[in-house]
């Protein structure tokens, strides 16, 4: 049975209240974050459409989701293989893919965007989808660095627009920051909070300029020791340096570029001279990360532009 989230939306009359069910969810962006959100939504019975620009990308996304669910099954259903296989099939059956975002959102109750951290690209996307999605559809951005209000300004549904900031890796991390703008209706905000809880997450209310919670750590220690300290002391599944390898320096650069553009005088958001002066188009970088007592070698493609 599908888990659903109910919410009510204010009509033109204060007495006019309409109930809408969040059952069909469209995720725009099939990368690590988008695929992770799709996995947890599908695992809780939602019908999910994952959208990206090519079938090849989407095939990799679905393969990644399947692999992630299998790892969960291996731990939780070691003595119940049939139940584990049932969960795998349930998740995969709840996920469909599309390269046509406009078509995908026409039947959606919630659209979550998880694409590149570029304000204009996000605004253009939502401006297009705003004309095609049903009036009741809630829009949400997963941005970790841009103003949700600025993104929402490209649409006509300011009261049905908010932020849902998940953390990597999504299936493991319990925290979700729910961002409401000055125009987000209380019904929409409550719906996003409830939806997050249905996914098994712990949502927190966040009304700040930048959506991500930033913790600065300054100490004299190796990157390995810092990662160990954050995992054992703060309960992180990955340390900050391991996470940087996992997310990719290209994504981190996009985030820092956005912060720097919005607050150019803040030294915390200063752009990296090393990354800016190097023009790396397709470079294979071999990164060595320590996970507990094991050593993992990861190949990462970096797409950094000047």
Annotated binding site for CoA: 68, 75, 144
Tell me the C-alpha distance between 93 and 9, whole Å: 30
Q: 27, exposed or middle or buried, with CB in 10 Å at 0-12, 13-18, 19+?
A: buried
Determine contact, residues 250/275, Cβ cutoff 8 Å.
no
DSSP β-ladder status, 161-166 and 175-180: antiparallel
3-state secondary structure 213-239: CCCCCCCCCCHHHHHHHHHHHHCCCCC
Structure tokens belonging to residue 14: 């204060």
For 136, the 3-state DSSP assignment is: coil
Q: For residue 169, is the peptide bond before it cis, meaning its omega torsion is within 30 degrees of 0?
A: yes
Instruction: Please report, in range form, the residues annotated as the binding site.
Output: 68, 75, 144
- Residues 6 or more apart whose CB falls under 8 angstroms from that of 242 comprise 227, 289, 290, 291
H-assigned helices in 45-185: 55-76, 81-93, 101-104, 119-130, 148-152
Sign of the torsion angle spanned by Cα atoms 164, 169, 172, 173:
negative
CA 117 to chain centre: 11
Nearest-5° Cα angle at 170, 247 to 294: 60
For 217, the 3-state DSSP assignment is: coil
Determine contact, residues 183/115, Cβ cutoff 8 Å.
no
φ and ψ at 190, to 5 degrees?
Answer: -65, -35
């Amino acid at each position: 049975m599908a888990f659903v989230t109910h919410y009510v939306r204010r009509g033109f009359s204060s007495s006019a209240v309409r109930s809408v069910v969040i059952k069909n969810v469209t995720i725009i962006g099939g990368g690590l974050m988008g695929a992770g959100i799709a996995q947890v939504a599908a695992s809780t019975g939602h019908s999910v459409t994952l959208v990206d620009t090519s079938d090849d990308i989407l095939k990799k996304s679905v393969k990644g989701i399947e692999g992630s669910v299998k790892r969960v099954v291996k731990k939780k259903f070691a003595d119940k293989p049939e139940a584990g296989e049932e969960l795998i099939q349930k998740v995969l059956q709840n996920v469909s893919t599309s390269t046509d975002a406009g078509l995908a959102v026409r039947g959606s109750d919630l659209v979550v965007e998880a694409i590149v951290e570029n304000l204009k690209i996000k605004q253009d996307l939502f401006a297009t989808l705003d004309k095609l999605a049903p009036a009741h559809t809630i829009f949400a951005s997963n941005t970790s660095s841009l103003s949700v209000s600025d993104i929402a300004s490209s649409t006509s549904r300011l009261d049905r627009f908010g932020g849902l900031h998940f953390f990597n890796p999504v299936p493991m991390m319990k925290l979700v920051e729910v961002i409401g703008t000055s125009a987000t209706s209380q019904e929409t905000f409550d719906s996003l909070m409830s939806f997050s809880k249905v996914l098994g997450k712990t949502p927190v209310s966040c009304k700040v300029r930048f959506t991500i919670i930033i913790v600065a750590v300054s100490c004299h220690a190796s990157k390995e020791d810092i990662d160990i300290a954050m995992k054992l002391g703060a309960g992180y599944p990955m340390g900050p340096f391991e996470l940087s390898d996992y997310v990719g320096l290209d994504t981190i650069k996009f985030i820092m570029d956005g912060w720097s553009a919005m607050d150019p005088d803040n030294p915390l958001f200063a752009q990296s001279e090393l990354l800016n002066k190097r023009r790396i188009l397709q470079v294979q970088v071999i990164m060595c990360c320590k996970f507990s007592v094991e050593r993992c070698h990861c190949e990462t493609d970096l797409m950094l532009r000047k």
